[in-house]
């Protein structure tokens, strides 16, 4: 289990690598719980000042949730793992940098959005293809995406379901920098080193927490959460949702019926 998520500490900087190249770095429940546990441990470690999240290899950041097991219990466990991982990402009080090479899709995009900085190579692609699988993005992820990019651009990603390239991602403010593939690591770790060594860690931590608290005031109204959950569950438990995943695994075009 632990080999699916790799941790490397180097001075003040920790690198977390999603290490499932055979699955295009798609995340299963075990990988998500492991990443969440690593983040829990890092939160207690005052020596670590910056986290870099990347995909193992140079071709994929993260292609989303691993949908190869399509049973209902599989999805429920994956969602639990995702909630554990994302809660620890959101609650982490020091800077996080997403180093994106290749696709960042679905859950991979959400991890990048939660990160404080996104450095992308020219090969990076970003998208939420879930409507093409008959499923919905989780409402908290929708909220994060619309908060970051604004409603019109978020609709482009969420309703179309087609990935955008690095240039378009830069235009809409999704990424901080786009660099040639050969410069991605140097650029990312140069930023990480500056954050870790040239800025006062207590001031950086306090500033990040203040930004989080201030933006939370425009968060999701608890009064509408039951409605949001019901909408997502209705779509994600539908015949179309089962057909979408089945068609993807069988490498064919899905036949949606609206049921």
- State residue 164's pLDDT score: 97
Percent of the chain with pLDDT over 90: 67
Q: Which two tokens stand for residue 232?
A: 């997502």
Buried b or exposed e, range 210-230, using 16+ CB within 10 angstroms: eeeeeeeeeeeeeeeeeebee
Say if strands 125-127 and 164-165 run parallel, antiparallel, or are unpaired. antiparallel
Identify whether the C-beta of residue 142 lies closer than 8 Å to the C-beta of residue 83. Answer: no
Q: In what order do the strands lie in the sheet with 96-100?
A: 5-10, 13-18, 50-55, 96-100, 117-121, 177-179
**232 vs 14: CA distance, rounded Å:** 35
What are 18-56's pLDDT values in tens digits? 999 999 999 999 999 999 999 999 999 989 999 999 999
Asked if pLDDT for residue 63 goes beyond 60, the answer is: yes
- Helix 72-91 to helix 29-43 angle (10° resolution) is 20
**What domains does the chain contain, in order, with CATH numbers?**
2-183 (3.90.226.10)
Question: 78-92, 176-190, 210-224: which has the minimum mean pLDDT?
Answer: 210-224
At 217, the pLDDT band (50, 70, 90 cuts) reads low
**Whole-Å CA distances, 122 to 47, 96, 102, 157, 182:** 33, 21, 8, 19, 10
Asked if pLDDT for residue 1 goes beyond 50, the answer is: no
Quick check: helix, strand or coil at residue 218?
A: coil
Q: Which two tokens stand for residue 253?
A: 């075009």
Burial class of 246 by CB neighbour count within 10 A (0 to 12, 13 to 18, 19+):
middle
What are 137-167's pLDDT values in tens digits? 988 999 999 999 999 999 999 999 999 999 9
**213 vs 91: CA distance, rounded Å:** 11
Beta carbons within 8 Å of 64's beta carbon, 6+ residues apart: 26, 27, 105, 106, 107, 108, 109, 129
């Amino acid at each position: 289990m632990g080999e699916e998520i790799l941790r490397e500490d180097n001075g003040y900087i920790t690198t977390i690598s999603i290490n499932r190249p055979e699955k295009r770095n798609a995340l299963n429940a075990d990988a998500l719980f492991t990443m969440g546990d690593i983040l829990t441990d890092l939160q207690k470690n005052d020596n670590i000042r910056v986290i870099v999240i990347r995909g193992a290899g140079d071709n994929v950041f993260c292609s989303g949730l691993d949908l190869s097991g399509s049973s209902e219990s599989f999805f429920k466990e994956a969602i639990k793992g995702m909630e554990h991982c994302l809660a620890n990402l959101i609650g982490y009080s020091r800077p996080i940098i997403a180093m994106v090479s290749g696709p960042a899709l679905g859950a991979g995009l959400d991890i990048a959005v939660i990160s404080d900085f996104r450095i992308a190579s020219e090969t990076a692609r970003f998208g939420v293809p879930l409507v093409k699988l008959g499923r919905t993005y989780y409402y908290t992820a929708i909220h994060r995406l619309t908060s970051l990019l604004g409603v019109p651009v978020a609709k482009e990603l969420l309703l179309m379901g087609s990935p955008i390239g690095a240039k378009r991602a830069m235009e809409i403010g999704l990424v901080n920098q786009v660099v040639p593939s050969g410069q991605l690591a140097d650029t990312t770790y140069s930023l990480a080193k500056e954050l870790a060594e040239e800025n006062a860690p207590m001031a950086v931590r306090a500033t990040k927490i203040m930004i989080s608290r201030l933006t939370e005031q425009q968060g999701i109204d608890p009064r509408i959460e039951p409605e949001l959950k019901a909408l997502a569950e209705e779509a994600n438990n539908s015949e179309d949702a089962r057909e979408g995943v089945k068609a993807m695994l069988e490498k064919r075009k899905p036949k949606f019926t609206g049921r």
